[in-house]
């Protein structure tokens, strides 16, 4: 295969304890560490391994968002991607529009395989992959924990609620990845320097001519109900008594 496209979303780092803004308009992001969505990092790692095995020629990373997402794309280039595309939008972009944006780049660049994270850890939507596969009219393999490529076919092991499901798909296709697919590499300093010279193309969203779609409005954010701190017991006997008191055993 020739080209793999990998989506990289800029999200609040997974170690950050997220807090809701007091006016309910969103969550605090000022001065908060931002990173590549961890699932997307795994998707990129897989793409790079496929390329390093000689099964693909080019790995392209793409992000949709504000100009500061260039940081995450540069990290992707430092990991080993060949070039990057940033589709710039000041407004947050809904999953169906992201899928349509990816589709327009797929058509323009003749992509053979799209690798995405199974969900982004900010909105936890878990939608873009299947939406892209739908409008592209191609197979999808979500929650992948193993991908075996064989020419224009792939055998994908999916982590599903009942266990591990294996499916065969033909390429082109969209695969969304789960945590146990691989462990992403660390970026080395010389690679960061090299990445500065790799091409990063910025395209204003309006230039793509992507059809608008009905948006789901975000009305307000609130903090979740807190669980109250309970009691501590001294030993197993105390635990058994506490469970009996609550009628649980």
Partner 1 sequence: MSKNLIIAEHDGSRLSPSVAKVVACAASIDGAEIDVAVFASAAGPVAEQAAALESVSRVLTIERAENEHAIAAILAPQIVALASGYSYVFGPSSTFGKDLMPRVAALLGVNQVSDIMSVVGSHTFKRPVYAGSAILTVEVPSDSIVVATVRIASYTAVNDGNSATIESVDATADLPSHTQFVELLSGATDRPDLQTATRVVAGGRAFGSEENFELVYKLADKLGAGVGASRAAVDAGYVSNETQVGQTGKIIAPELYIAIGISGAIQHLTGIKDAGTIVAINKDEEAPIFEVADIGLVADLFSAVPELTDALE
From 48-56, 68-76, 142-150, 187-195, give the range in contact with partner 1 by CB under 8 A: 142-150
Token pair belonging to 76: 């992707």
Q: Residue 237: helix, strand or coil by DSSP?
A: helix
Residues 50-69 that bind partner 1 (CB under 8 A): none
Q: Counting contacts by CB under 8 A, is residue 146 touching partner 1?
A: no
Q: Counting contacts by CB under 8 A, is residue 215 touching partner 1?
A: yes
Of 131, 130, 83, the closest CA to residue 111 belongs to 83
Per the CB < 8 A criterion, the answer to whether 224 and 24 are in contact is no
CB of 103 to partner 1, least distance (A): 10
Which of 57, 67, 193, 239 forms a contact with partner 1 (CB under 8 A)?
Answer: 239
Q: Which is nearer to partner 1, 143 or 195 (CB)?
A: 143
Of 12, 14, 10, the closest CA to residue 32 belongs to 12
Q: Counting contacts by CB under 8 A, is residue 206 touching partner 1?
A: no
* 37: number of Cβ within 10 Å: 25
Of 91, 58, 54, 60, the closest CA to residue 73 belongs to 60
Binding-site size for partner 1 (CB under 8 A) equals 85
The alpha helices in 53-151, defined as continuous H runs, are: 70-79, 95-109, 128-136
Q: Which is nearer to partner 1, 67 or 223 (CB)?
A: 223
How far is it, in rounded angstroms, from Cα 225 to Cα 239? 26
Q: Counting contacts by CB under 8 A, is residue 32 touching partner 1?
A: no
Which of 54, 190, 209, 230 forms a contact with partner 1 (CB under 8 A)?
Answer: 230
Q: Which is nearer to partner 1, 85 or 169 (CB)?
A: 169
Which of 13, 27, 149, 184 forms a contact with partner 1 (CB under 8 A)?
Answer: 27
Residues 70-99 that bind partner 1 (CB under 8 A): 94-96, 99
């Amino acid at each position: 295969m020739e080209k793999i496209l990998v989506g990289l979303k800029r999200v609040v780092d997974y170690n950050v304890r997220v807090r809701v803004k007091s006016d309910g308009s969103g969550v605090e992001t000022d001065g908060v560490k931002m990173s590549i969505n961890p699932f997307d990092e795994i998707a990129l790692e897989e793409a790079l391994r496929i390329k390093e095995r000689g099964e693909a020629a080019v790995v392209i990373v793409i992000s949709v968002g504000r100009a500061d997402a260039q940081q995450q794309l540069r990290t992707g280039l430092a990991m080993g991607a060949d070039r990057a595309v940033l589709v710039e939008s000041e407004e947050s972009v809904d999953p169906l529009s992201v899928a349509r944006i990816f589709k327009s780049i797929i058509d323009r660049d003749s992509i053979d395989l799209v690798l995405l994270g199974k969900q982004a850890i900010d909105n936890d939507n878990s939608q873009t992959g299947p939406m892209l596969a739908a409008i592209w009219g191609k197979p999808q393999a979500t929650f992948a924990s193993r991908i075996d490529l064989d020419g224009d076919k792939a055998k994908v092991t999916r982590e599903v609620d009942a266990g591990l499901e294996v499916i065969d798909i033909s390429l082109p296709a969209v695969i969304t990845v789960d945590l146990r697919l691989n462990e992403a590499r660390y970026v080395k300093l010389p690679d960061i320097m090299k990445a500065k010279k790799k091409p990063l193309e910025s395209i204003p969203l309006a230039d793509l001519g992507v059809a608008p779609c009905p948006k789901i409005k975000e009305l307000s954010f609130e903090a979740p109900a807190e669980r109250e701190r309970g009691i501590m017991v001294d030993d197993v006997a105390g635990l058994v008594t506490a469970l009996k008191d609550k009628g649980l055993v």
